Amino acid sequence: MRWRRSSDNSDVIDQRSSGGGFGGAGIPITLPRAGGGLGVVGVLVFLAIQLLGGGGSSVALAPQTVPGAPQAEDGLRDFSVYVFHDTQDFWASKVQNYQHAKLVLYRGGVDTGCGSASSAVGPFYCPADQRVYLDLSFYSDMTGQLGAKGGDFAWAYVIAHEMGHHVQQQLGLARPRNNAESVQVELQADCYAGVWAHHVDSSGDLEQGDVAEALDAATSVGDDRLQKRASGSINPDSFTHGTSAQRVAAFQRGDANGDPQDCQGA
């Protein structure tokens, strides 16, 4: 993915230098279904490992990043901020009365409007404070331990998916009441990520293999694949995010025409 470093840090809150941990006693985070991350909370660590594996195209994501050394994370940090701003600008042009989300970069643990969270929660969106939370250490801490090929657009997909949840919040979409509805919410966020990918392609910034990276990431975080890796068995009744095939299809649906309307009922 072609991208450009920028000095624009608007809507970005970098808390990595705060040393992590939680302010006060805190409340363990319970993410509302509509603001969830990319995988079931119990297996979100798999998500981070899979999406942040090695590879990439035009941006060096420093797979040998030394944990605790902020300067070694600069490439990933700058790329994350660029993707966040690009998705934000895109959706601001599409959604009436759009209110900007914030991107919070943290290390170890963080207090949110949804409660306190540790890095084990993985990337997530909190609708209560309209913020996307990312711990960049996932890339270096967990690279290569599971099956996804990774790459820069796989990481872009992570951010675009979470911004999809912000779009849902902006549109006032109802939060799911059960697992089946949760699957639909998550697939819609994948579809919105695909809509943004179409925009990137139309702008001439996609490179060969970028979409394949996103589809590989989507495959890696399907409920069926995660459950199979975690326990060796699959329980469809417990799915909350959709199968690998469903997640790939949802992303492709959005990417096909770049029309958010194609994501209704995704």
Does 56 have pLDDT greater than 50? no
Of 208 and 58, more confident:
208
- With cut-offs at 50, 70 and 90, classify the pLDDT of residue 52: very low
Q: What is the distance between the alpha carbons of residues 93 and 101, in angstroms, rounded to a whole number? A: 14
Q: What is the pTM of this model?
A: 0.82
DSSP states along the chain? ------S--TTEEE-GGGTSS-SSS--B----GGG--SS-GGGHHHHHHHHT-S--SSS---TTPPTT-GGGGHHHHHHHHHHHHHHHHHHHTTSTT----EEEE-SSEEEETTEEEEGGG-SEEETTTTEEEE-THHHHHSTTSSS----HHHHHHHHHHHHHHHHHHHTTPPPPSSHHHHHHHHHHHHHHHHHHHHHHHHTT---TTHHHHHHHHHHHT-HHHHHHHHHS---GGG-SS--HHHHHHHHHHHHHH--GGGGTT-
Amino acid 18: pLDDT: 72
Segment 67-75 mean pLDDT: 55
Q: Which pLDDT tens digit goes with each residue over 129-155? A: 999 999 887 665 434 544 556 788 988
Domain limits, the chain: 12-254
